[in-house]
Structure 1
């Protein structure tokens, strides 16, 4: 029988995997174009994270840490595939290039928005998604077969939840909804 701590760690790790896996795949594709290799590399990172789970408390910025692990894993793979010259110059730099930083930011924003949207009940998510697609309240009400006041209320609550989850990022991503 498993101890409660191991079960808690497994649940926590499962949540991390579900939260980060799609974004890390996309991030790794930036370096490695082969989908099967990308999946293996990201899975290798999760195996390593599980092995190092006792050290998670020492990590200040977990998100940056995990992206850096994927980045290093991709570089190690590419170096082994005879792309040493081009990749080693980038690998030896202490700072990420502007393109890498932009890619990281884009993937992290994507992850945060998905996480915030996942926190919404499905009926609220439908309303806010249709609103982001440009539908007006009346059109949403007709499409979902609900009243306009219901649409307004769900939209208001969904916006409030997104603001709480995304903070100032909300203002940049959802200025007009």
Structure 2
């Protein structure tokens, strides 16, 4: 029997706090490997710790508590990704600079198009590292979702999630840039 979980079952806050302090950061890093979202990773790990504190008496742990925590975090990450219900029925995620150019820049001058194109490249470079990798593999190297997932050792859902978030960030930034250009 795991001594730590036994102490937590007895309500020993000191043991729980020590376990939390010794494992929180590594669990967040682990979660972020699935979610690529620091805040969501922190929330997921905190939820797991709260669950352990509140349900220790009912938990049947056959491995170490640490291994159990990693499994719980992984499962919660998968549930989080599933809950996002990412679908791509209309190739919504397949955006690229040409598509943006066709729809957004019809009435924009050539000079302004160059400015926006340059800004899009800057925006992509400012994305979090993993998101940036995914965007570049998809749109610069024309990888498919499955190929990106295999290359980066992540799920296809994670690829779709990151591309969706990147699209939102890029679209918001491009919209702001176009508004500024219209003011000039």
TM-score by shorter chain over 0.5? no
Larger radius of gyration: 2
Q: Under a length normalisation based on structure 2, what TM-score does the superposition of the two structures give?
A: 0.40
Q: Under a length normalisation based on structure 1, what TM-score does the superposition of the two structures give?
A: 0.41
